[in-house]
Amino acid sequence: MAGDVPFDQRDGSIWMNGKFVPWADCKVHVLTHGLHYASAVFEGERAYGGEIFKLTEHTERLHNSARLLGFEIPYSVSEIDDACRELLAKQGYSDAYVRPIAWRGSEMMGVSAQKNRINLAIAIWEWPSYFDPEQRLKGIRLDMAEYRRPDPKTAPSKSKAAGLYMICTLSKHAAESKGYADALMLDWRGYVAEATGANVFFVKDGVLHTPNPDCFLDGITRRTVIGLARKRGLEVVERHIMPEELADFSECFITGTAAEVTPVSEIGSYTFTPGKISQQLVTDYMEAVYPQPAQVQMAASL
């Protein structure tokens, strides 16, 4: 199975700096600035039925993330969009995960990197549900993370930058070692922030509450779900949420390109029951990404 094959040994092609390169030959040097100093930005996108969902929004965010890290990607939004579509067709996938990444190269090695080439690569692979399907139906369990999302004065928190995910990996590994699927992170002030790779929503008395993304990524899936909820006539409140408020919420779910819409049954000592609102938004999201009813029914069951 493809999922058992290491990512550097898969078949197909990767788009890199304007060319399709055989997958196994797509390499960078060990003395690459992006590896040593985390000067890299990336996107996570999904293709459904051969179409990449909200592709241009993701590509625009990629460009903006790069600018926040002080560099310009040498390919326009439309050029990157076209490359993603061409690669999806070349790989022959209908449903897949899309990963563009831009990074500073090897021309200078040190904190300063003004002369380094800006590289761009795009890889696409088949990727099923992010969480175990049976677990997802019941709602996943989250631990409380030790690390917190940083103060925007200390990191470019509005960028989807590689370096910002170090504490996410540490937090997810710690949670998984205890039998949890993921972890909920607080922000530097102690407010509820997000999971390690997804935004979070709560339900109380039929109203959706979600943290104000003032120091972490305002996810494209998050914004999509807010739009779907309001289209349903649901009230959505974006605000600061204290962790002790989790006792007051009846439902919880997380959102992200990888996670899609996934109900949560437990966060630390707090429990939730995946209910009508969570299930409705799972279905609504699948209808937004899958145009065919049969595909929606199949996807919603995962």
Residues 272-283 have pLDDT tens digits of: 999 999 999 999
Do 203 and 92 share a structural domain?
Answer: no
Host H or E run for residue 38: none
Domain count, the chain: 2
CATH of the domain at 277: 3.20.10.10
Residues 121 and 139 in one domain: no
Catalytic annotation, residues: 160
CATH of the domain at 74: 3.30.470.10
209 and 265 inside one domain:
yes
Same domain, 120 and 201: no
| 275 plus 139 within the same structural domain | yes
| Amino acid of residue 219 | G
Through-space distance between the first and last CA atoms of the chain, rounded to whole angstroms: 19
Place of tokens 């369990």: 141
pLDDT at 135: 62
Pair (137, 105) in one structural domain: no
Based on the fold, state whether residues 115 and 154 are members of the same structural domain. Answer: no
* Domain endpoint, select from 109, 125, 141: 125
Digit-by-digit pLDDT tens for the chain (302 residues) are 466 899 999 999 999 999 999 999 999 999 999 999 999 999 999 999 999 999 999 999 999 999 999 999 999 999 999 999 999 999 999 999 999 999 999 999 999 999 999 999 999 999 876 556 566 678 999 999 999 999 999 999 999 999 999 999 999 999 999 999 999 999 999 999 999 999 999 999 999 999 999 999 999 999 999 999 999 999 999 999 999 999 999 999 999 999 999 999 999 999 999 999 999 999 999 999 986 654 444 444 44
Q: What is the pLDDT of residue 298?
A: 45
Domain closes at, from 125, 143, 177:
125
Residue-wise pLDDT tens digits, 51-62 = 999 999 999 999
Residues 26 and 88 in one domain: yes
Long-range contacts formed by 146-149: CB under 8 A, 24+ apart:
146/170, 146/171, 146/174, 147/171, 147/185, 148/185, 148/186, 148/187, 148/188, 148/190, 148/193, 149/185, 149/186, 149/187, 149/188, 149/193, 149/194, 149/215, 149/216
Residue 260 and residue 170 in one domain: yes
User: Residue 290: what pLDDT?
Assistant: 84
Q: Which of 75, 96, 125 is the last residue of a domain?
A: 125
285, 150: one domain: yes
User: Which long-range CB contacts under 8 A does 67-74 form with residues at least 24 apart?
Assistant: 68/41, 68/156, 68/158, 68/159, 68/161, 69/39, 69/41, 69/156, 69/159, 69/161, 71/39, 71/102, 71/104, 71/118, 72/118, 73/102, 73/118, 73/120, 74/118, 74/120
pLDDT value of position 296: 47
pLDDT on residue 130: 58
- Do 187 and 89 belong together in one domain? no
Within this chain, do residues 233 and 270 fall inside the same structural domain, yes or no?
yes
| Domain coverage including residue 221 | 133-300
- What one-character-per-residue DSSP string does 259-273 give? TEEEEEEEETTEE--
